[in-house]
Chains A and B, each alone.
Chain A
Amino acid sequence: MTGRDGKAIALHGGVIAALFALNFVLPEYHHGVLARVLVLAVFAMGYNLLFGYAGLLSLGHAMFFAAGLYGAGLPMYHFGWGVLAAFLSGLSAATILAFVIGMLALRTKGVAFMIVTMMFAQVGYLLVYYFGSWTRGDEGLVIQQHARAIEIGATTLDLTEPTTRYMTALFLFSVVLLVTFALVRSSFGRVLIAIRENEERTRMLGYDTFANKLVAMVASGAICGAAGAAYLILFGYVGSTFASIQYSILPLLWVLLGGASTTLGPLVGTVLMFYLIDGSGDLLKTYAPGWNISHLGIVGAALIILVLFFPKGILGTIRDRWARWLP
């Protein structure tokens, strides 16, 4: 293990330890916020694997998040499935969908790939309405509090209890962070980066770039699906909004803000964007009471500023300037 590896491992361990410690010190509001943000950061990490490392800009990742949400939510709501079975169902739905979409969409590149993924996501969004008698379309479905618990012997783990929910979100986040960390440092991760930098040359070196991109797509979809399933189980609601284009743009923005192709960038981006949106309401109310700017307006402004001035995001800039060892 090199000193570079040691620093990276220490940093990731430190982040997980810090998040664990925050459970005990955060005020109630921020504690609840961070549980939600950790799940959304998992979504962003899944997106980052494909966009940041493999260089494939998808505009349709809401479909994988939604596949996780509906894959878990529909059997819980209609058939009374338990939490673990529902989670696996959501994860499987997103993984299979990512494989199928990958097989088709990866035949395209660049702008065409963006459009194809966006179109598939739009199909997914409309399917939610098409099967409205099952999904209740835009209104969506609520999973009751009592159903969001795990029975372990005589003990019941209530996933709506704030500490349990936080720790569950942190567990998922930690697993995905460590898996991502291992993936991007493996030879597979290096092949993805090579594809991003020059796909033709990578192919010339003998790598099957399609297969590698497909694996990246499936892993990315699976992670996003896990986030969706966890979101449903921890927060109890699924609706078509989560399948809309907005939820394809948001992970892109979180990743761009935090730093694409950095393992911790998605967390940084998701946290900052949440508080930017949350705080902007008060700032706008105080300093620009007449401006009816929505939180999406803030998101849009942030995206423009990012693209213009910080194309590598926060951790990307830090890596360039001060910490070359950041994975």
Chain B
Amino acid sequence: MNITIALAGNPNSGKTTLFNALTGSNQYVGNWAGVTVERKEAVFDIGEDRATLVDLPGVYSLSPYSIEENITRHFIAQHQPDVVLNIVDATNLERNLYLTLQLMELERPVVVALNLMDELKRRGESIDCARLAKALGAPVVPISAKRRQGFDALFQAIHDQAHDPRTAYPARNYDASTRDALREIVEALGGFSSHSAFDIDEHFEHRDQNERDDDHSPRADHRHIGGYDDEGDVDYAPPTMWVALKLLEGDELLKETAQLSDSQRARIRAAVQAYVARGQQVHPGIDSLTMVVDARYRRIAELLREAGYRRREREISTSDKIDRVVTNRYLAFPIFLIVMGLMFAVTFGAPGTFLTGLTESLVGFIGDQASQGLAAIAAPEWIRSLVCDGVIAGVGGVLVFLPQILLIFLFMSVLEDSGYMARAAFITDRLLRKFGLSGRSFIPMLMGFGCTTTAIIAARGVENERDRRMTILLTPFMSCGARLPVYALFTAAFFPNNRALVVLSLYALGMLMMIVCGLVLRKTAFREGDSPFLMELPPYRVPHARSVLKRLWDRAKDFLTRAGTLIFAMSVLIWFLQSFTPGLQWTTDSATSIFGRIGAFIAPVFAPLGFGQWEKGVALMSGLVAKEAVVSTLQVLYSAGSSAQLTQAIAAHFTPLSAYAFLVFILLYVPCVAALAAARRELRSAKYFAMTVCIQLGVAYGVTFLVYQIGRLIVG
């Protein structure tokens, strides 16, 4: 039998660890249709069954407010997985069980995997899983995802739920007042339709706990509420009881899509009002949503009591002691700077440069071998050029980033798993919020000074989608390392006495533009969403080598795949544009190439910026391949044999003002293709990508224009 298992749980509950432990390496990673959230699936065997495990996004609840929540709820309600595997963090039972109750309201068979049981015991707490299972109406299996313990029992429970599904009646998790309101709403909706396998009384009947009939597996009655979700399935039909609950909570969207008659609406409104009136006798001013949420939490307290669970008063833990130093008012920032400095020194300093050099030599070696090999078989010159100057130089130019990307990810994985990343976000959030970012954006922004591509990929650590997109958009304003050779060349030619000052002014200008754009975007395209910033400071843990290496491997695989496909194609395209005339004649003279012609064509556009000559336009376009390519292109175009000659040529072709304007443009215009490809991929939206490119080009053009024109007024 083929069974589909949906894996759901809170963020930080060990969901990814469990997914990897269950499925090994045979995963398929894609995206959810139409949205931007990663979708992971894997197939593995449970006994004679072939199980497809679908990793749902980590969520705290199933409200219709975030993409992640919509995906999770929609997948379970609409695709009806055979089993919902709910991973629960045993050290955080109350909040995790909140999701469990909501999952069970979707009336699919649930298996609860109680993770981190060892940690619960270490705290001196205990829980009776059998009693919890009985009270909850779903099997509860203690496991340790990290140590791969308890999996046999887990498989058995999944097997049983798949072959003999049992779901509990969700209405029973509510108190008498809530049940009365629900009954009234279900009846207003027309009750359960006649073909239903069970009747409404059974649903609501309040039985003795011991009488709870787990042997019953109701086939839930469903109600069509097409158009409720992003997915836009017209036949979307979650359980009627769930619809009633949402109506009781006052879900505005559902009121519209449930297609109710006026009399139905009136009856439901009356039921909700009566319910709220009962609640306000206890808590004045309370609303129905808060009452339903509170009812779930009260049920959870009841469940835990029945399972013999007693929460121990929180003691001062090792994590708290570490935090007293790490988030200390005076020590927090110095420690943070040391950690960041170390990360930087290793990645972009000697160790990283050494590995990059090694990769470069390897690429160079392959290039030479290919060149010689092609010469040996007397291949035409254009083939040699395509292979060596196009493919190997292009793909190789991107491949050299791999060691640094892996180093950064090694650091990031270790920082993330150890719990420090959350602290870094905690201490920097206040600063970054001013620019429409959050604490999570700090590390990617800082890495932008090293390499934009790496930084954009690192923005994955920013959980909130809006913040992540802002981070990706703003990171290129942090002047990356590849722009330094260009700065070095021009400052040597024009500002030999003030080189550091000029370069520093460029870095400062980049940061200023980041802040200005951040402020503007926060007020316009990226308005602060109506969702609060919530974060957890997980306990410090020693990172697990296997999971760190797994992520590094995934990252490397991903990067290599891209280098082999997208970057390969781009390299060939750019080579073609550089090597052929518009009449498709092979040429070695850049001026006559398509690129050169485009350069000549767009040159007037740059005239108001102070560099309206075709060589400069072509140099800027070659900067798209890699920023340092601007230098080599100018070298070719000005036929400068040595760097001294190049400095002279630059001095002859630029004025100090146009040179500075040129540098400003280099600083601000779109990053290289590798970074653009990364941005396109990580933004996962053509619209935002187009917007990013437009903003960067617009800002570069506008600022350079101002610098040059105002400069001309001053210089005269």
Does B associate with A? Answer: no
